[in-house]
A and B are shown apart, each in its own frame.
Chain A
Amino acid sequence: MLALLVAQNIAFYIIAALMVVGALRVVTCKNLMHAALWLVLVLAGAAAQYILLASEFVAITQVLVYLGAIIVLFLFGIMLTRAKTGTDDDLDNKKSAKFIGGGIAVLLLGLMGYSLIDGFKDTEFGNLMVQRTSQVSDSIFSTYLLPFEVLSILLLAALIGAIVLARRD
């Protein structure tokens, strides 16, 4: 291991531990609001990991989209709808659902672990280069132009669909 990356490794493990604790609390919490707030910790941790990987654009997008918009939408939704805002003992899933969820989690772990190990083998990152935002935008608007446009249209369709579903008249 390169001496340069020691500090980053330590930071990675601290943040990762916080994220795991947060993620466990999200699913075990009896209070819907608390679960949403623990999710903030997990998503902020993900943003911090992106910064450790020297991709600031992705990190800031994570903050803007997930923390600034999606979490706020969650909290907003919980407060506006008639969901119980206090502690709720029925919040847990049935036993059968738990087993299915656990199975899927193990499957995902195996799949992603295998693809990561297989994909990178013994590659060391060496000196991390800061990923400039201009590089990101250049690649989006040249190499990945078609997927980008297709995604945009997909999102637009979802947006219009949401409006159509929500409108009463």
Chain B
Amino acid sequence: MTGDPGNLSCEEFQAQLAELVGSGEGPAAHPHVQSCERCRALLVDLETIAEAARQLFPSVEPPDEVWEQIESAIKQEGK
């Protein structure tokens, strides 16, 4: 792998992407992204998906019956 991050191929950059995204260092600032439209688009898509997950999947309240069944089962197990 080349020592100059700006000279990475798309394949080399994308191989590092999981670590870059997870590191919180902001892969958008990576020199390869500055010069590669395809990888820039990929990053935007992945960020859009992560953001959509946060917004579109709120936590859901279980119905009260679930607790009632848990209590009932606990009582049964305690007998």
Whether both chains belong to one complex is answered with no
